[in-house]
Amino acid sequence: MLEVRNPTKLYIGRPAVDDVSFTIRPGEILGYLGPNGSGKSTTVKMLTGLLESSRGLILYQGRNIRQDLIGYKKSLGYVPEEPNLYPYLTGREYLQLVGRLRCLPAAPLESKIDQLLNLLSLHEHRYSPISSYSKGMKQKILISAALLHNPDVLVFDEPLSGLDVTTSLVFKNLMKALARERKVILYSSHVLEVVEKVCTSVIILRKGCMVANDSVARLRDLLALPSLEDVFSQLVQQEDTEKIAADILDVMQA
């Protein structure tokens, strides 16, 4: 179980994330939503140990992750928002690097890499440098790297960006399968439709603060709205989006 207890992250005295608490149990997929700059990526970075919180605690299996960060990272798989991979390595070499740095045994690692590349339709590009990959292909490499060591905790930050329709469908099914395997999953995204379909519960952030934390169905019921998109608009968007779109058109045509 992953417990996030009131973590706050301050940047030059200003909170990017303020007192956001939640718990993800094994088998749960928590959708993490919010507009740009709402603190999603900061939370993700704290959860993956890339950033230390200014206040508050993150507990995994009841222990502060900072007390045994290496142990926690061994059970963590992380797909970051930006595929900032090493361009001169091939896809296969990158996965070998990650696998070796995770100290996975050599023979099963090679076999896993080949199978994952095959399943994600990257096998024929396995010896091409990453610099020649499209964004979607890089994303597939990141997803493979996050799954190589069969982690118990998975943190996905916009994992579908750049992926083709088929791989997106595969990924959605994979998320459900991982949840059935009792993995702890946090899914941060802007794509409300996917969150609505795969997540067991949802957190909505606004300006670093949590404005909703419940199951999708309960949020829809509570606010008497038909979809998660409407719930999100109700809780987060303070602007008239139709008017902004019309204004943009006016500027274009001026």
Partner 1 sequence: MAPALENEIAQFRELVRHFFSRFFDNDLVAINTDAADMRATVVNILAMLAAPGMLLPFLFMSKYTNLQMQPMYVRDLASLGEKEFFICFSMTVMGLVTVIEWEMLFPDRRDYANLTPLPIRLRTMFGAKIVALLAFLTVFSVAINAFSPVMFPAVVLQKEPLLNLIPFARCHIVSILAANTFVFFFCVAVQGILMNVLGYRVFRRVSPYVQFALVVSDHPKA
Q: Is 84 in the site for partner 1 (CB under 8 A)?
A: yes
Q: Is 103 in the site for partner 1 (CB under 8 A)?
A: yes
SS3 track for 182-199: CCEEEEECCCHHHHHHHC
Give the binding-site size for partner 1 (rule: CB under 8 A).
Answer: 29
Q: Is 107 in the site for partner 1 (CB under 8 A)?
A: no
Q: Which two tokens stand for residue 48?
A: 């993956």
CA dist 195 and 202 (Å) reads: 8
* DSSP conformational letter for 39: S
Q: Is 108 in the site for partner 1 (CB under 8 A)?
A: no
CA dist 61 and 7 (Å) reads: 17
Q: Is 214 in the site for partner 1 (CB under 8 A)?
A: no
- 234 contact partners, CB below 8 Å, separation of at least 6: 223, 225
Smallest gap from residue 130 Cβ to partner 1 (A): 11
Q: Is 187 in the site for partner 1 (CB under 8 A)?
A: no
- Between CA 165 and CA 171, with CA 168 as vertex, the angle to 5 degrees is 155
- Enumerate residues 24-53 that contact partner 1 by CB under 8 A: 48-50
CA dist 182 and 171 (Å) reads: 17
Smallest gap from residue 217 Cβ to partner 1 (A): 33
CA dist 136 and 12 (Å) reads: 35
Q: Which stretch in 98-106, 112-120, 184-192, 245-253 sits in contact with partner 1 by CB under 8 A? A: 98-106
Q: Which stretch in 9-17, 70-78, 192-200, 234-242 sits in contact with partner 1 by CB under 8 A? A: 70-78
Q: Is 135 in the site for partner 1 (CB under 8 A)?
A: no
Question: Would you tell me which residues interact with partner 1 (CB under 8 A)?
Answer: 48-50, 70-71, 73-74, 76, 78, 80, 82, 84-88, 90, 93, 97-98, 100-103, 127-129, 131-132
